[in-house]
A and B are shown apart, each in its own frame.
Chain A
Amino acid sequence: MSGDLLMVEGLSKRFAGRGRSVRALDDVSFSIRKGETLGIVGPSGSGKSTLARVLLRLIEPDAGRILIDGEDWRSLSPKALRHRRGDIQMVFQDPLSAFNPRTTIGKAIMDPLRIHAVGKRHSRMAALAELLQRVGLSADMASRRIHEVSGGQRQRVALARALASRPRLVVLDEALSALDVSLRGQMLELLVRLQRDEGISFLFIGHDPAVVRMISHRVAVMDQGRIVETGDADAVFSDPRSDTGKALIAAIPTWR
Chain B
Amino acid sequence: MTKVLCSIRDLSVAYPTPTGAQHALKSVSLDIIAGEKLAIIGESGSGKSTLSLALTGLLARQAMVDGVMSWPGLGSAPRAGRDIGIVFQDPGSSLNPVLTIGDQVGEGARRHLGLGRKAARDKAIELLSRVRIPQPEKAAGAYPHQFSGGQQQRIAIAAAIAAGPAVLIADEATSALDTIVQAEIAALLEDLVTNGDMTLIFVTHDIGLAASLADRIAVFRTAELVECGDARSVVNAPRADYTRQLLATHIDLHSPRLVGAADVR
One of B59-67, B93-101, B162-170, B244-252 contacting the partner = B244-252
The answer on a CB contact under 8 Å between A43 and B265 is no
Cβ of A58 < 8 Å from any Cβ of B? no
- Give the contacts of A32-46 with B (CB-CB under 8 A): 33-37, 42-45
What's the tally of chain B residues with a CB closer than 8 Å to chain A? 40
Q: In the complex, what's the smallest C-beta–C-beta distance from A231 to chain B, in angstroms?
A: 11
Closest A residue to B217 by CB, please name it. A255
Mask, B233-260, CB within 8 Å of A = 1, is 0010000000001110111111111111
The answer on a CB contact under 8 Å between B264 and A43 is no
The answer on a CB contact under 8 Å between A255 and B208 is yes
Chain B residues, Cβ within 8 Å of A211? 251
The answer on a CB contact under 8 Å between A234 and B246 is no
Given that A188-B258, A192-B258, A214-B257 are known contacts, is A35 also in contact with B252, CB under 8 Å in the complex? no
Closest B residue to A48 by CB, please name it. B178
Cβ of B207 < 8 Å from any Cβ of A? yes
The answer on a CB contact under 8 Å between B252 and A256 is yes
Chain B residues, Cβ within 8 Å of A34? 264-265
Cβ of A189 < 8 Å from any Cβ of B? yes
Given that A45-B148, A196-B263 are known contacts, is A253 also in contact with B257, CB under 8 Å in the complex? no
Q: In the complex, what's the smallest C-beta–C-beta distance from A46 to chain B, in angstroms?
A: 8
Tier of interface size on chain A: 35 or more
The answer on a CB contact under 8 Å between B265 and A181 is no
- CB < 8 Å neighbour of A182 from B209, B245, B259: B245
Q: Give the A-B contact count at a CB cut-off of 8 A.
A: 124
Cβ of B177 < 8 Å from any Cβ of A? yes
The answer on a CB contact under 8 Å between B211 and A255 is yes
Given that A180-B43, A254-B254, A255-B211 are known contacts, is A248 also in contact with B180, CB under 8 Å in the complex? yes
The answer on a CB contact under 8 Å between B251 and A184 is yes
- Per the bound structure, the CA–CA distance linking A237 and B252 in Å amounts to 11
Closest A residue to B232 by CB, please name it. A255
Chain A residues, Cβ within 8 Å of B256? 214
- Per the bound structure, the CA–CA distance linking A168 and B247 in Å amounts to 35
Chain B residues, Cβ within 8 Å of A184? 249, 251
Mask, A121-153, CB within 8 Å of B = 1, is 000000000000000000000000000000100
Q: In the complex, what's the smallest C-beta–C-beta distance from A45 to chain B, in angstroms?
A: 7
Q: In the complex, what's the smallest C-beta–C-beta distance from B128 to chain A, in angstroms?
A: 21
Chain A residues, Cβ within 8 Å of B255? 210, 213-214
Nearest 7 pairs between A and B by C-beta? A255-B211, A253-B208, A251-B183, A180-B43, A251-B179, A253-B209, A254-B252
The contact sample of 21 A-B pairs, CB cut-off 8 A, is A34-B265, A35-B264, A43-B178, A43-B180, A43-B181, A151-B44, A180-B44, A181-B205, A181-B250, A185-B251, A207-B177, A214-B257, A215-B257, A217-B264, A233-B257, A251-B182, A253-B179, A253-B252, A254-B208, A255-B247, A256-B254
A: residues with CB less than 8 A from B are 3, 33-37, 42-45, 151, 180-182, 184-185, 188-189, 192, 195-196, 199, 207-211, 213-217, 232-234, 237, 247-256
Q: Add 18 more A-B contacts to A196-B263, A216-B259, A253-B179 (CB < 8 A).
A: A34-B264, A43-B181, A44-B178, A180-B43, A180-B205, A207-B179, A210-B253, A213-B253, A213-B255, A214-B256, A214-B258, A233-B257, A251-B179, A251-B183, A255-B207, A255-B235, A255-B252, A256-B252
